[in-house]
């Protein structure tokens, strides 16, 4: 029986690689080793506005609980192209929504397993879409270790990859967990964070993280954190950019659906910020249809755009920001006012000049 399970496990891995996944491992479901640390992280308020993370804690505590007789997890990783140039949009968000891309692949893998097993195998795929600790499962499946920036790091791929898991009621031989910590004494990721979001190695205060501030935060970006946002409009790759494992092992993007859309691959933060600040609802829906960036909503992206113009803009941006003072969202109006004040303080324009909309 053990030999049969191993043979099927090998077939599952071959099929997963054939579907385009870059890494695959198998873990036996059970109590999550990192649940205690996760619960403490929530208690310390580091999740900020992400109240959904506190839901379904029983399932996060024990990965057998999503459905009856859940036994094994096939854990996969999909590279999203760490070799791309850095820019105002984080690499993962430049193409189609990765949730859709990976769930489709996991559904195909699920169908293959049922066919191979000769019965309908109960299963459920997760890609940031439910209350399980995928990173915990990935380490247990042998895919990597937790880097000091909290990302899973693989010794042959770095950390620029998505994690997904297919839970099934089918017993498979599990891989050995990844036990070693290969970060050593390196602290480049911690030192490089512009907002000092790392409380300690492997402990992230999300409320200070630029990815959180530009995506998950629904209200104002704290004034003291706006300047450190710099030119970043959606997400942040800085703690990954500086990682030696990514310098050496990041790979080019091969998944077609994740190829960057032309407008989102731009490194011209100011041009993109100007476009986002003036975008109406129809333009927003058309531009971000099928994109993960729709999560921030039009108001969030316009807010972020105003901050970027405040950090990088000059007199040519003041007329646009003056117009934004009449934006339909109060949140955007407040950040546009801040941006104007920033430009004014740098260039020493008079209030009358700004009100005329210098161009």
Residues noted as catalytic: 128
| Sheet of strand 72-79: strand arrangement | 23-28, 72-79, 161-168, 123-126
Distance CA 4, CA 10 (A): 10
Helix 297-312 to helix 330-347 angle, to the nearest 10 degrees? 0
Dihedral of CA atoms 5, 11, 14, 20 in degrees, nearest 10, equals -100
Contact (CB, 8 A) for 185 and 104: no
Q: What is the largest CA-CA distance in the chain?
A: 82
Please choose, from the candidates 199, 42, 208, the residue with its C-alpha nearest in 3D space to the C-alpha of residue 133: 42
Q: Quote the CA–CA distance of 145 and 271 in Å, as a whole number.
A: 38
């Amino acid at each position: 029986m053990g030999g049969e399970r191993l043979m099927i496990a090998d077939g599952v891995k071959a099929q997963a690689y054939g579907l385009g996944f870059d890494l695959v491992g198998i873990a036996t479901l059970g109590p999550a080793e990192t649940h205690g640390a996760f619960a403490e992280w929530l208690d310390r308020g580091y999740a900020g506005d992400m109240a959904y993370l506190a839901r379904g804690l029983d399932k996060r505590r024990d990965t057998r609980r999503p459905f009856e007789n859940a036994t094994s997890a096939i854990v996969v990783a999909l590279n999203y192209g760490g070799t791309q140039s850095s820019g105002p949009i984080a690499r993962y968000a430049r193409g189609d929504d990765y949730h859709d891309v990976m769930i489709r692949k996991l559904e195909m893998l699920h169908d293959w397993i049922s066919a191979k097993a000769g019965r309908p195998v109960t299963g459920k795929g997760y890609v940031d879409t439910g209350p399980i600790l995928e990173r915990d499962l990935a380490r247990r499946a042998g895919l990597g270790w937790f880097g000091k920036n909290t990302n899973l790091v693989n010794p042959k791929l770095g950390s620029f990859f998505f994690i997904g898991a297919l839970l099934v009621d089918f017993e498979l031989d599990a891989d050995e967990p990844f036990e070693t910590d290969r970060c050593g004494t390196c602290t480049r990721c911690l030192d490089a964070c512009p907002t000092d979001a790392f409380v300690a190695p492997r402990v992230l205060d999300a409320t200070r993280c630029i990815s959180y501030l530009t995506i998950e935060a629904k209200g104002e970006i704290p004034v003291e954190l706006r300047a450190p946002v710099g030119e970043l409009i959606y997400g942040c790759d800085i703690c990954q950019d500086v990682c030696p494992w990514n310098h050496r092992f990041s790979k080019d993007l091969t998944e077609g659906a994740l190829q960057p859309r032309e407008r989102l691959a731009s490194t011209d933060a100011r041009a993109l910020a100007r476009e986002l600040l003036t975008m109406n609802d129809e333009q927003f829906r058309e531009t971000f249809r099928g994109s993960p960036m729709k999560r921030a909503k039009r108001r969030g992206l316009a807010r972020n755009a105003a901050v970027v113009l405040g950090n990088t803009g000059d007199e040519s941006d003041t007329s646009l920001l003056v117009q934004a003072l009449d934006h339909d969202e109060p949140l955007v109006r407040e950040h546009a006012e801040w941006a104007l004040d920033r430009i004014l303080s740098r260039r020493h324009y008079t209030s009358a000049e700004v009100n005329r909309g210098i161009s």
